[in-house]
Amino acid sequence: MGERVRLLVSAFCAVFFMVAGVSAETAIICSSTTSTENSGLFGYILPMFEKKTGIKVKVVARGTGAAIEMGKRGDADVAFVHAKEQELKAVEEGYFVNRHDVMYNDFVIIGPSDDPAKIKGMKSAAEAFKKISASSQFVSRGDNSGTNTKELAIWKKIGTEPKGQKWYLEVGQGMEKTQRIANEKRTYTLTDRGTWLATKDKDKLEMVIVLEGDPVLFNQYGVMAVNPEKHKHVKYKEAMEFVNWLISQEGQQAIGSFKDKNGNPLFIPNAR
């Protein structure tokens, strides 16, 4: 009888410590953009980080504006986004600390292969936007994302207020869905190259890049930890492990090795 009790106690303790180990698993919340999620980058690099550190990263993907606001509220531990001016402003206001450049790619204008606005071969995104507004339609994410912020800056540069115009459609969606809507309507949109390369074949998009290479379309991504002085509950130590891994040689190599099926890199690491 005593032996049976001993075995039962041992089994109970084993189960208890197993459950305790699972519940004690460290996890952080990363608010990020739809482009890092849609492109498949997180699915590629996070297993490497988690294997090295034992820290799980739960990604909440939304537009950059919403991702930054999530961190400001203390609903995330770290933000990985792409609107540098907004990021620096949030750091200056004290909501985030330890911001670093991580990687970049660029924005491109995509549209129907027959290019009804005739912008293929143009070098200026601003001039292309002028032609689109005069002769075609434009699909905007309309979600205060990094892509939407870049797009609105281009409209502002040419002195055009697109909101409310018949040719301008705000959809309030992530990048992949916005591409699909533009494809269905056979018109133009601005997208990041990473999402485009990762999804154009999967989504069977009948579109092409009609303009690329304008320096204004440079697309920098950055990472920053939520300030623990603003929100005592955030997992700052673990968030900084993630930040430091992303900008380390190992993290940068992981990002640089992420490519599409044709061997094209989707993001270029550039942490200093």
pTM over 0.75: yes
End-to-end CA distance of the chain: 67
Residue 45: per-residue pLDDT: 98
Give the percent of the chain with pLDDT over 90.
88
Query: Average pLDDT of the chain?
Result: 91
Residue 269: per-residue pLDDT: 98
Task: Give the Cα separation of 113 and 110 in Å (integer).
Answer: 9
Using alpha carbons, list the distances in angstroms from residue 1 to 9, 110, 200, 241.
12, 76, 68, 50
Give the percent of the chain with pLDDT over 70.
91
Residue 123, classed as helix, strand or coil, is coil
Residue 130: per-residue pLDDT: 97
Residue 182, Cα to own-chain centre: how many angstroms? 20
Residue 38: per-residue pLDDT: 87
Task: Give the Cα separation of 213 and 22 in Å (integer).
Answer: 48
Kind and range of the H or E run holding 214: none
4 pLDDT tier (thresholds 50, 70, 90): low
Residue 29 has pLDDT above 60, yes or no: yes
Task: Give the Cα separation of 212 and 221 in Å (integer).
Answer: 18
6 pLDDT tier (thresholds 50, 70, 90): low
Residue 16: per-residue pLDDT: 45
Residue 124 has pLDDT above 80, yes or no: yes
Angle between helix axes 249-256 and 41-53 (nearest 10 degrees) is 150
Could you tell me which residues are beta bridge partners of residue 138?
168, 188
Residue 136 has pLDDT above 70, yes or no: yes
Kind and range of the H or E run holding 219: strand 218-226
Residue 147 has pLDDT above 70, yes or no: yes
Q: What is the pLDDT of residues 37-57, one digit of tens each?
A: 889 999 999 999 999 999 999
Residue 192 has pLDDT above 90, yes or no: yes
Q: Which domains does the chain have, with CATH numbers?
A: 2-104+220-269 (3.40.190.10), 106-217 (3.40.190.10)
Residue 189: per-residue pLDDT: 98
139 pLDDT tier (thresholds 50, 70, 90): very high
Residue 272 has pLDDT above 90, yes or no: no
Q: What is the pLDDT of residues 156-165, one digit of tens each?
A: 999 999 999 9
Task: Give the Cα separation of 18 and 107 in Å (integer).
Answer: 47
